[in-house]
């Protein structure tokens, strides 16, 4: 498939605003790709060069890309920069410059998708001294052999700003249509995705082996599994009822989730974060423990890594543990503040996929193969049949400085990548506040006025994620909780992803001073969820159009943007509706 064709599909994708139209265009594009191209095509469409866990990033700075454009078109850097300032989009600037110079012929043959992908991959992985100049020249070389429209997308991609507006859910639906002609096979494809976290691989399997290959998808060592997530319920009685009268209750540790892949024979260990980044290098003590404290050939286990004082039995607050997520001074920090892993699940052992085993069996096996008294411990837990037992355990956990509890269905599979009632969390609730925080996606920001004028930043417009429609729906403006440093940081970071018009995946009635691409997540605390005609969260649902939901008195917590969550992992509209219902019930019972 020629890249020229891909670029024209991208142009079509950009021009439509309906999701269904987007899926159709994407389906045609995927159908047209060859077996050995679809993987790269999917990565490119996601705006990446590899699945997230491989950590290959391009993100060239504006200045470097400008130099490449100048070099390939014979313009001066100043001319390119002037066009950039005029259009606000370096991709368009590259296209314009190329149009003028493409009167001279492109020399070599037209580039295929794999040629472009490989060239970009090479640019991203070039490092060391002199690499800056090399990258500029390599990108210039690629642009010289590309038509103007191709230049638009190559430059945007190289800057990490492709922004086609297609989320994973949209790509999965297109894959479903490609494979079966219907959108209904999405769930099966999503299951495969949840197991390997690699959409390119899912697409390639679908193309090569059809739905049979997708249905037989198996866990692979060193490919992270998308994590199981917990639902919420406010009372022990409701949790037990949902769990049919009996369940396990575990301590909820407020640390860093760690998925540990172990191959003892080859002495290889890889650790993945909740967001599936490879964080192995940061935790040498966990790598060491995985090899010495686990007695099987291979395993994938999961736990919460947290700093913990053995003498006092105290757990450190999240702000301290998170300091271990760093690339420098790793050795010193691992000695100063060693972590423990409180293991709570086992998904794979000695070549066998364990995800379809009931939780009780997974936990039994976990306790068999891990020593449990070293760096890796087991999450504390009890089995309960009465609400009073769960309540007592919960109070006891809170008194110990923990976040709350996670109740687990003894018979449930490990449900990758989904928030289901097989795990239910309960956290401490503060009077007059929602018991849980909400993770919202920034979709816009406001200009600073009055005392904030000097920062050029006055607050955020934020949204939740509707996983049914793959859209971001606004839920609140946030004006409090910012320090001066945070305002500077927000302005700087958000300016890089500003969008001239409302981003395709954002559904909004209110308009911020500046739109931004839905990318960054912040955690907020609020007093209450209310109904509001201003916000689109929950507005378009199966029943038609209803009043949306909003947050009352939202304030930022946790110090800024969350590094461990991507936009699609924000709180969902469905969760907001559930939390609203729980809040209503709690109010009714308090009034009674």
- Rounded to whole angstroms, the Cα distance separating 79 from 82 reads 5
First to last CA, the chain: 67
HSE value, Cβ hemisphere, 13 Å, CA-based, for 583: 22
- Of residues 151 through 190, those in contact with ligand ATP by CB under 6 A are none
User: Is residue 253 at the binding interface for ligand ATP, with CB under 6 A as the rule?
Assistant: yes
Residue 142 Cβ vs ligand ATP, minimum distance, rounded to whole Å:
39
Report the residue number, 13 or 415, with the smaller CB distance to ligand ATP. 415
Residue 296 CB, shortest distance to ligand ATP, in Å, is 21
Q: Which two tokens stand for residue 270?
A: 């890889």
Phi (first) and psi of residue 476, to 5 degrees: -170, 155
- Of 406, 438, 464, 529, which one interacts with ligand ATP (CB under 6 A)? 406
Phi/psi of residue 30, nearest 5 degrees: -65, -40
Strand partners, 294: 370
Report 279-308 residues binding ligand ATP (CB under 6 A): 304
* Given 39, 135, 252, 357, the catalytic residue: 252
Could you tell me the smallest distance in angstroms from the CB atom of residue 102 to ligand ATP? 48
For residue 231, what are the β-bridge partners?
A: 424
Among candidates 101, 66, 68, 99, which has minimal Cα distance to 84? 66
Sign of the CA dihedral with 157 first, then 163, 169, and 172 last: negative
- Shortest distance, position 571 Cβ to ligand ATP, whole Å: 8
User: Rule CB under 6 A: is residue 48 a binding residue for ligand ATP?
Assistant: no
What residues contact residue 130 under an 8 Å CB cut-off, 6+ apart? none
* Interacting residue with ligand ATP among 229, 237, 330, 382 (CB under 6 A): 229
For residue 431, the minimal CB distance to ligand ATP (Å) is 20
CA 572/CA 189 separation, integer angstroms: 21
**Beta carbons of 262 and 425 less than 8 angstroms apart:** no
Question: CB of residue 590 vs ligand ATP: minimum separation in angstroms?
Answer: 24
Contact characters 416-455, ligand ATP, x per CB under 6 A? ---------x------------------------------
10 versus 253: smaller Cβ distance to ligand ATP:
253
Binding of residue 379 to ligand ATP (CB under 6 A): yes
| Closer to ligand ATP by Cβ: residue 26 or 230 | 230
Q: How far is the CB of 572 from ligand ATP (least distance, A)?
A: 10
Binding span for ligand ATP by CB under 6 A among 83-91, 117-125, 247-255, 307-315? 247-255
Stretch that binds ligand ATP, among 86-94, 176-184, 245-253, 552-560 (CB under 6 A): 245-253
- List 272, 315, 344, 549, residue binding ligand ATP (CB under 6 A): 344
Residue 230 interacts with ligand ATP (CB under 6 A): yes or no:
yes
Q: Looking at beta carbons only, is 446 or 580 nearer to ligand ATP?
A: 580
Q: Which positions ≥6 away from 92 have C-beta within 8 Å?
A: 83, 152
Q: Of how many residues is the chain composed?
A: 592
Residues in 459-498 at the binding interface with ligand ATP, rule: CB under 6 A: none
Question: 156 or 274, CB closer to ligand ATP?
Answer: 274
Site for ligand ATP in 188-227 (CB under 6 A): 227
Cβ atoms of 302 and 259 closer than 8 Å: yes
Q: Which is nearer to ligand ATP, 217 or 354 (CB)?
A: 354
Question: Of 158 and 529, which has the nearer Cβ to ligand ATP?
Answer: 529
Here the tokens at position 5 are 């064709």
Nearer CB in complex with ligand ATP: 94/343? 343
Q: Using the minimum distance from each CB to ligand ATP, give the nearer residue, 540 or 565.
A: 565
| Residue 250: CB minimum distance to ligand ATP, A | 4
252 scored as a contact of ligand ATP (CB under 6 A): yes
* Residue 257 in contact with ligand ATP, rule: CB under 6 A: yes
Place of tokens 């086609």: 164
b/e string for 250-267 if b means 16 or more Cβ within 10 A?
Answer: bbbbbbbbbbbbbbbeee
Tell me how far, at minimum, the Cβ of 408 lies from ligand ATP, in Å: 7
Q: Rounded to whole angstroms, how far apart are CA atoms 342 and 260? A: 12
Give dist(CA 163, CA 58) in Å, integer. 14
Q: How far is the CB of 6 from ligand ATP (least distance, A)?
A: 35
**Cβ neighbourhood burial of 25 (10 Å; 0-12, 13-18, 19+):** buried
Helix (H) or strand (E) holding 563: none
Q: Which of 186-194, 246-254, 494-502, 505-513 is the region at the interface with ligand ATP (rule: CB under 6 A)?
A: 246-254
Query: Quick check: is 356 catalytic?
Result: no
Q: Identify whether the C-beta of residue 304 lies closer than 8 Å to the C-beta of residue 313.
A: no
Measured CA to CA in angstroms, residue 437 lies from 70, 519, 550, 558 at distances of: 48, 19, 14, 10
Nearer to ligand ATP, 532 or 566 (CB): 566
Name the helix (H) or strand (E) containing 432. none
At its nearest, how many Å lie between ligand ATP and the CB of residue 229?
4
- Single residue of 250, 293, 409, 575 touching ligand ATP by CB under 6 A: 250
Six token digits for residue 123 = 């640019």
Stretch binding ligand ATP (CB under 6 A), from 117-125, 134-142, 249-257, 547-555: 249-257
Number of shown-chain residues binding ligand ATP (CB under 6 A): 14
Nearer to ligand ATP, 106 or 229 (CB): 229
Gap between the Cα atoms of 189 and 173, Å rounded: 9
What φ, ψ does residue 2 adopt, rounded to 5°?
A: -75, 145
Distance CA 40, CA 110 (A): 17
Q: Which ranges constitute the DSSP H helices of 16-147?
A: 19-32, 38-46, 62-73, 77-87, 90-101, 113-125, 131-144
Chain positions contacting ligand ATP, by CB under 6 A: 227, 229-230, 250-253, 257, 274, 304, 344, 379, 406, 425
Residues assigned a catalytic role: 252
């Amino acid at each position: 498939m020629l890249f020229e064709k891909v670029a024209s599909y991208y142009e079509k994708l950009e021009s439509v605003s309906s999701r269904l139209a987007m899926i159709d265009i994407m389906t045609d594009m995927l159908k047209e790709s060859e077996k050995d191209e679809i993987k790269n095509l999917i990565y490119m469409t996601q705006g990446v060069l590899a699945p997230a866990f491989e950590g290959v990033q391009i993100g060239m700075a504006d200045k470097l890309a400008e130099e490449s454009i100048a070099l390939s078109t014979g313009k001066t850097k100043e001319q390119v920069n002037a066009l950039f300032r005029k259009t606000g989009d370096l991709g368009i600037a590259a296209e314009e410059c190329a149009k003028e110079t493409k009167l001279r012929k492109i020399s070599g043959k037209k580039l295929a998708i794999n040629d472009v992908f490989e060239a970009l991959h090479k640019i991203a992985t070039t490092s060391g001294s002199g690499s800056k100049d090399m990258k500029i020249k390599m990108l210039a070389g690629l642009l010289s052999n590309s038509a103007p429209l191709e230049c638009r997308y190559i430059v945007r991609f190289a800057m990490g700003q492709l922004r086609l507006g297609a989320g994973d859910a949209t790509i999965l639906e297109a894959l479903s249509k490609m494979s079966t002609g219907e959108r209904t096979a999405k769930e099966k494809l999503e299951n495969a995705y949840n197991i390997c976290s690699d959409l390119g691989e899912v697409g390639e399997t679908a193309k090569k082996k059809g739905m049979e290959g997708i249905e037989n998808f198996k866990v692979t060592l060193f490919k992270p599994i998308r994590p199981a997530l917990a639902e919420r319920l406010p009372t022990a009685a409701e949790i037990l009822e949902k769990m049919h009268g009996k369940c396990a209750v575990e301590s909820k540790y407020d640390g860093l989730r760690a998925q540990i892949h172990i191959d003892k024979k080859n002495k290889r260990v890889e650790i993945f974060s909740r967001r599936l980044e490879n964080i192995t290098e940061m935790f040498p003590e966990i790598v060491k423990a995985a090899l010495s404290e686990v007695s099987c050939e291979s395993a994938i286990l999961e736990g919460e890594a947290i700093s913990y004082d053995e003498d006092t039995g105290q757990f450190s607050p999240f702000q301290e543990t998170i300091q271990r997520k760093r690339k420098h001074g790793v050795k010193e920090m691992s000695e100063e503040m060693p972590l423990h892993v409180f293991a709570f699940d086992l998904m794979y052992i000695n070549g066998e996929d364990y995800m379809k085993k009931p939780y009780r069996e997974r936990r039994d096996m976990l306790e068999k193969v891990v020593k449990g008294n070293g760096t890796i411990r087991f999450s504390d837990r009890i089995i309960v049949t009465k609400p009073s037992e769960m309540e007592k355990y919960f109070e006891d956990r809170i008194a110990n400085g923990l976040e709350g509890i996670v109740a687990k269905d003894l018979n449930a599979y490990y449900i990758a990548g989904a928030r289901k009632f097989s795990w239910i969390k309960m956290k401490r609730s503060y009077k007059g506040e929602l018991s849980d925080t909400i993770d919202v996606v920034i979709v816009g920001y406001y200009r600073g006025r009055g005392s904030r004028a000097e920062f050029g930043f006055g607050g955020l417009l934020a949204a939740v994620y509707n996983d049914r429609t793959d859209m971001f729906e606004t839920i609140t403006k946030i004006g409090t909780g910012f320090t001066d440093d945070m305002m500077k940081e927000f302005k700087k970071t958000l300016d890089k992803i500003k969008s001239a018009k409302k981003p395709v995946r954002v559904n909004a009635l209110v308009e911020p001073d500046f739109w931004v691409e839905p990318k960054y997540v912040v955690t907020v605390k609020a007093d209450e969820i209310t109904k509001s005609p201003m916000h689109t969260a929950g507005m378009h649902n199966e029943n038609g159009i209803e009043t949306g939901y909003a947050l009352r008195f939202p304030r930022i917590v946790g110090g800024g943007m969350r590094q461990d969550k991507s936009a699609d992992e924000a709180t969902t509209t469905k969760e907001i509706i559930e939390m609203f219902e729980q809040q209503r019930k709690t109010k009714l019972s308090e009034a009674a």
